[in-house]
Homo-oligomer: A and B are copies of this chain.
Amino acid sequence: MRTTTALPAAILAVLGISFGLTTPSPAPADEGVWTLDHLPVRALQTAYGFTPTPEWVEHVQKASVAFPGGSAAFVSEDGLVITNHHVARGQIQKLSTPEHDYLRDGFYARTQAEELPCPDLELRVLVTMEDVTARVRAAVDPKAAPKAQAAQLRAVQAKLEKEFSDRTRLQGRFVELYRGGEYWLYGYRRYTDVRLVMAPEGQAAYYGGDWDNFTYPRHDLDIAFVRVYENGKPVKPERWFRWSAQGPLADDLVFVSGHPGTTRRQLTVAQLEYLRDLQHPIRLGQLERRMAALQAFAATGDEPARRARSTILSVANNIKRTRGYLDVLRDPSLIEQKRREEMDLRRRVAANPQVAAETRGAWERIAAAGRELRRRHREHLYRDLDRTATLVGIATQIVRHASETEKPNELRLPEFRETQLETQRFRMFSPAPVYPDVDAVVLATLLDDARRALGPRDPWVKLALGGREPADVAGELMERTRVGDVGFRRVLVQGGSAAVRASDDPLIAWVRALEPLNRELRDWHEAQVQTVESMEAGRIARARFALDGKAIYPDATGTLRLSYGSVKGYEDGSTRVPWKTTFLGLYDRAEAFDGRRPFDLPPLVAGARAKLDLATPLNFVSTCDIIGGNSGSPVLNRNLEFVGIVFDGNIPAFRWDYDYDDVQARCVAVHSAGILEALRRIYGMDRLADELTGGKMATR
């Protein structure tokens, strides 16, 4: 058989073309965690033809919820709030008992009456914001010594916060933006009667465990629902997000409204090098040792495993995150790029005499503060106990509360100012269960680390250990202390300084003895490092404003921000990664691993395969700019419908701590359609699904 066709001349003409990699036209960078007073209106209009109205912005603000350690959103007129399972994990753990392991098995309120009050959960909604930069700057003398500047800054903050709270009847919180370039007061409405409505099984929420954490494609139902009450009734929030049953489609414009914790994009190169060389490696070592000890503890039985579960998950998360941050910082290209940017900025500053005069010495003084920090970094990093062991934290709160509340408001530590006391007491008197055995494990590793790093003759180590072994000290303190008893705490706090001084509780006595050294260190850090960095970085930020106008957004500070971007996949290695996953992918992963841990399915999920529409989207990615703290943030479409909930970034998004790019880095969210499908067909939670689609509590 022979085949011929005439040779089209057109074909032969194409042969002259030369083939190569074509440069794609640069995509608009969907960069920034923007404050709501300062949105990138022009970029949004240019890239997406969208301009938010004031009403739109107010809606975002008032339907967004600050959840401790993360973000959340109102999703019905009856105070229903959605967040991530892993954000609510601490509360679910606190609600669990040896008889009801809700973290493992999930919790499902079939009626409103079954909703379970969270022991110590405080949610907040941002109601108003005021720029107080001018008043703060006027109160701090830039020529004073660092210690004096620190005192001036503390005093003016206390004064402004108090005035603001008295005037607005809201909880005022001081917010430093642009690393000192601006100072604001944010006013919050607080909610403390919050009840758990639904949480899936830990294995459904965290499918794939530590392996799949920070990974995409992902298949997690990382959701939890709580309801906010006031005066025993579901609250009627001022604003809430309607639920999109369809959810987002490929290439949709979406927004993320939430509370990103910390980004380090506006740090100097010297500051980044400190993180790379000292802070991250030391923290990572501490976390890894803590993990080993906790796992050994958990391996001793089902009940120890249950008690330690939330702590272990949180430590594992921090290990993987810290490793990711270190990988980014150790990539020489990142530091090189930062160095180029810094040199470029300094050149432009130097070229403008007025700006140069106002910025003179700023980088040098930050570098000097960095050298001071390096000098004492071991003490700074290894004496830091109270954030990790619950009972040590509570004991420290009690000891400090006694001494601080005796001082005038302007002289106190920021967290003990008048305006913050209610929140402090809410935490100190939490009826949540404490686990002295878990605390002992954690405290012992911290003490062991400190001794190793600071040496046995360090004054703090000597005081803390008294020549004994860390495990013995921690074990004895935790076994004998009564700080786990809320009644005991109340009596101590009511007794004030005298009661604390007189207490023979071993943990209180131990914290009390260490407190002078801890306070000295904290005061040193505040004056010699924090205040210098804030003052000088503030100068640099204002230099930027002077040169470029206010074209940038501030580094994340745990306060409300809006990001925007496109729903889209990316290339990875040799192939493409799709913008979404489906339930098909979840069951595929379970089958592909032969159901081996941590890729096994909880029984309800395994049993629902035939009932589900398997093609329903489960997770999806977008280019929205996020960071830790954004977990639980609603993903919204341009009509402010809820289309998903952020719960992770992929591995390339670790870079976002220092620099945004959208080549591969993505924000990972649970898809709103997948949530509905799961509620109805896996969990039989039609009551909840109906409330989401109807916008109010179902009346069945």
A residues within 8 Å of B by Cβ? 1-20, 119, 208, 211-215, 217, 249-250, 288-289, 291-293, 296-297, 300, 303-304, 307, 320, 431-437, 440-441, 444-445, 448, 470-472, 474-475, 478-479, 484-486, 569, 573-576, 578-582, 584-585, 587-589, 591-594, 599, 614-615, 651
Contact = CB atoms under 8 A, between A and B. Distances in A.
B6 A479 contact: yes
Q: 6 tightest CB-CB pairs across the interface, nearest first?
A: A19-B292, A578-B592, A584-B588, A14-B296, A12-B471, A585-B588
Contact of A7 (B293, B478, B588, B589): B478
Contacts of A293: 11, 14-15, 17, 19
Nearest to A297: B11
Contacts of A444: 12, 15
Contacts of A651: 573-574
Given A5-B307, A215-B573, 9 more contacts: A1-B432, A7-B440, A11-B293, A11-B437, A14-B292, A213-B574, A250-B594, A320-B574, A580-B592
A214 B471 contact: no
Given A12-B444, A448-B15, A579-B592, A574 B214 contact: yes
A484 B6 CA distance: 14
A13 B591 contact: no
A529 B436 CA distance: 76
B578 A589 contact: yes
A124 B133 CA distance: 84
Contacts of A11: 293, 296-297, 300, 304, 437, 440-441
Contact of A582 (B1, B213, B288, B592): B592
B587 A587 contact: no
Contacts of A485: 2
A213 B575 CA distance: 8
A584 B591 contact: yes
A582 B574 contact: no
Contacts of A484: 2-4
22 contacts: A1-B432, A2-B486, A3-B484, A6-B437, A7-B436, A7-B475, A11-B293, A11-B300, A11-B437, A12-B440, A13-B471, A14-B292, A14-B293, A17-B296, A19-B291, A19-B293, A211-B574, A211-B576, A212-B575, A574-B651, A578-B592, A585-B589
A645 to B, nearest CB: 19
Nearest to A290: B19
A263 B486 CA distance: 72
Contacts of A17: 292-293, 296
Contacts of A593: 569, 576, 578
A296 B19 CA distance: 11
Contacts of A445: 15
A5 B303 contact: yes
B581 A584 contact: no
Contacts of A212: 574-575
A285 B470 CA distance: 65
A579 B593 CA distance: 7
Given A11-B437, A17-B296, A486-B2, A588 B581 contact: yes
Contacts of A4: 436-437, 484
Contacts of A474: 12
A445 to B, nearest CB: 6
Given A19-B289, A444-B15, A582 B588 contact: yes
A599 B576 CA distance: 10
B435 A3 contact: yes
B575 A15 contact: no
Nearest to A3: B433
A399 to B, nearest CB: 20
Q: Report which residue of A4, A289, A485, A574 has the largest number of chain B beta carbons within 10 angstroms of its beta carbon.
A: A574
A215 B255 CA distance: 33
A326 to B, nearest CB: 14
A1 B433 contact: yes
Q: Report which residue of A291, A615, A651 has the largest number of chain B beta carbons within 10 angstroms of its beta carbon.
A: A615
A79 B385 CA distance: 74
A559 to B, nearest CB: 29
A632 B576 CA distance: 26
A471 B12 CA distance: 5
Q: Report which residue of A2, A119, A485, A576 has the largest number of chain B beta carbons within 10 angstroms of its beta carbon.
A: A2
A474 B211 CA distance: 56
A569 to B, nearest CB: 8
A693 to B, nearest CB: 23
A434 to B, nearest CB: 7
A436 B2 CA distance: 10
Given A440-B7, A651-B573, A431 B615 contact: no
A214 B592 CA distance: 19
